[in-house]
Each structure stands twice: as C-alpha cells, then as structure tokens.
C-alpha cells in the first residue's frame, strides 16, 4: 500500500503471517522520493529496530542534535518531546517493533542500555549489521525480507534467557490495561515493595513502571485522536482527568497539541504499518500473577 506525505510517497508493506517470535511485529518501508523537512518521530511503547537497506541511508537527528545514519536501535518512548526527526531520499528499511520483554534476548542488550538516544546497529552488532544490510538488499520481495528478518530474530532470541517472568507479568498488565493499572497495586499483587518493582522493571524494560503506563496510555490515546475520535471522548475513555490533562501529555510526548498531532505524517503512516488492535475491554485486574 502507499501513503502520501507531502511530496513523498511511502510504500508500506506488512507480512502475510505473524512473526514466529512472540512480541515481534514488523513492517517494510520504501520512500522513492524525499522526506521533505524531516519526519517527526512520535514515541511508542516498544523497542524499535530499523534495518536499513536502501540506495541511500536515512538520517535520524535526536533531541540533542546528534545525527545517526543507517540501521539503529532505540528504546521505548524514543522521540519524546517531539525533537527527534528522520529524513532521507530513496530510503528503504525493515522496521521491527520489539516488546521490551523480548528485546533483551533479541538484541543482546538490555532496553535500559537504549534509553535516551538511538544506538547504531554497527556499534551493537559489529560487522553483522553490514552483512544484514547487504542480504536485505539482495532479496527481491518484502516477504523474503520479512522471512529473513524473522529467522534472524528467532535465532538470537533462542540463544538467550527469557525475561524475568514477574516483570513480564507486570508489563503485560500495563499493556492490557491501556496504561490504567496502578503501579502500587502491581507491586502489592507481586508481593514486592514499590522500590523493588521500580528497580527490576526499569532494568528489564528500560523505563520505570509509572513511565511505561503513561507511555502506553498516550499511545492508545494518540491513535484514537488520529482516527478522528474527539479529544473529550479520548480523555474520558483514556483515564485522563480532563482534556487539559490529555493536552499536557500529548505536548510532553510530541511537542505539539492534540489538534495538530492528528496531522502528523508519522502517525498516519504508522497506522498503515501497524494496524491498531484494541485490547479487550474485560477487567484486566483479574489476570493471574506468576
């Protein structure tokens, strides 16, 4: 499918089958033209792995003004504040969204090590990153690129220990509850202190549990805004105190208002590449703990 952003046309591809690795989703992007003015990156509650293989290498400029070219990895919430932009011409990549629960085993690095600015895949994986870029460029179809990427991630994941089951349970509760689960209740149900939950969660997920809940809530809310749902309804359904509360969160994460964010090209393309599947409305607080 294609999506137009100003003068650029995005070709967006989705795999026909889900990944064989739980917590992994991917999409393919090709921009034959130029990303005019750069694309504002909107934060998401996943670890992002970008495997670039286009004729030219895309550039990402972080909030501190540092520029990163080519394949990279970024932790949950990357782009917060609205100061991260990406641009390029004739670029192509496979972008993988990794649940923080699987990111450590797949990447060989903790999400906590990816906080703040992105990390070059060359720095993380050495010469393997160049070989992956070359192989993706040789494959003629998106399905073959997805299959290659999936096999790569499955091998890396199988070679390492899984995430802490208690932390995985807490993360799953936050995601299923759309960020509306109270952190002190999670700690109590685990039989942990808030300090222990904060420490263990941050070490495995890359951000504290309260920040994770806020990010998950924002992600759900901003996609509803882009879908055309009114801000008052989004605020009420999303657990915000009022529209001003929603406005503050959207400004904090994107640097723009709830009205303006609906026109962000990143979110328009995002919705094509990662179709939103709303979680069930059942009471998530009945989930059994580990």
| Mean pLDDT (the chain, rounded) | 87
- Cα–Cα distance list, 253 to 79, 125, 218, 247 (Å): 7, 29, 8, 10
Which residue ranges form the domains of the chain, and what is each CATH number? 2-158 (2.60.120.10), 165-286 (1.10.10.60)
**By C-alpha distance, which of 95, 105, 111, 121 is closest to 13?**
95
What number of other Cβ atoms are within 10 A of residue 184's Cβ? 12
Could you tell me what percent of the chain has a pLDDT over 70? Answer: 90
Beta strand extents in 20-66 (DSSP E only): 24-34, 39-40, 47-52, 59-61
Tokens of 287: 């989930």
pLDDT over 60 (residue 21): yes
Could you give the CA distance from residue 290 to residue 113 in angstroms, rounded to a whole number?
26
- Model-level pTM? 0.89
Q: Which residues of 103-119 are buried (b: 16+ CB within 10 A; e: fewer)?
A: bbbbbebbbbebeebbb
Query: Picking from 127-131, 132-136, 155-159, which range would have the lowest pLDDT averaged per residue?
Result: 155-159
Could you tell me what percent of the chain has a pLDDT over 90? Answer: 66
Tokens of 11: 């070709």
Query: Picking from 183-192, 204-213, 242-251, 280-289, which range would have the lowest pLDDT averaged per residue?
Result: 280-289
DSSP per-residue codes, 64-104 = TS-EEESSEEE-TTTTTTS--EEE-EEEEEEEEEE-HHHHH
Torsion angle of the four alpha carbons 240, 244, 254, 46, in this order, in degrees rounded to the nearest 10: 0
Angle of helix 127-138 relative to helix 142-158, nearest 10 degrees, comes to: 150
DSSP per-residue codes, 168-218 = HHHHHHHHHTTT-S-HHHHHHHHT--HHHHHHHHHHHHSS-HHHHHHHHHH
């Amino acid at each position: 499918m294609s999506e137009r952003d100003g003068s650029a046309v995005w070709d967006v591809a989705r795999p026909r089958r889900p990944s064989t690795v739980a917590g992994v989703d991917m999409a393919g992007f090709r921009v034959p033209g130029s990303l005019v003015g750069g694309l504002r990156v909107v934060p998401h509650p996943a670890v992002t792995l970008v495997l670039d293989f286009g004729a030219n290498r895309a550039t990402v400029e972080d909030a501190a003004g540092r520029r990163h070219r080519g394949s990279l990895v970024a932790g949950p919430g990357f782009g917060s504040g609205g100061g991260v932009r990406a641009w390029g011409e004739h670029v192509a990549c496979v972008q993988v969204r990794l649940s923080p629960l699987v990111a450590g085993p797949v990447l060989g690095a903790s999400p906590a090590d990816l906080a703040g600015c992105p990390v070059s895949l060359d720095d993380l994986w050495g010469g393997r990153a160049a070989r992956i870029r070359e192989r993706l460029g040789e494959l003629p179809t998106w399905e073959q690129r997805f299959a290659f990427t999936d096999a790569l991630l499955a091998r890396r994941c199988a070679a390492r220990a899984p995430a802490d089951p208690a932390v995985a349970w807490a993360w799953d509760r936050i995601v299923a509850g759309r960020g509306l689960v109270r952190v002190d209740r999670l700690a109590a149900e685990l039989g942990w202190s808030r300090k222990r939950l904060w420490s263990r969660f941050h070490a495995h997920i890359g951000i504290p549990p309260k920040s994770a809940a806020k990010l998950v809530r924002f992600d759900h809310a901003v996609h509803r805004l882009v879908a055309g749902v009114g801000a008052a309804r989004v605020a009420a359904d999303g657990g915000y105190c009022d529209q001003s509360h929603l406005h503050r969160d959207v400004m904090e994460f994107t640097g723009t208002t709830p009205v303006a964010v609906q026109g962000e090209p990143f979110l328009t393309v995002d919705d094509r590449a990662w179709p939103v599947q709303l979680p069930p409305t059942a009471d998530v607080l009945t989930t059994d703990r580990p």
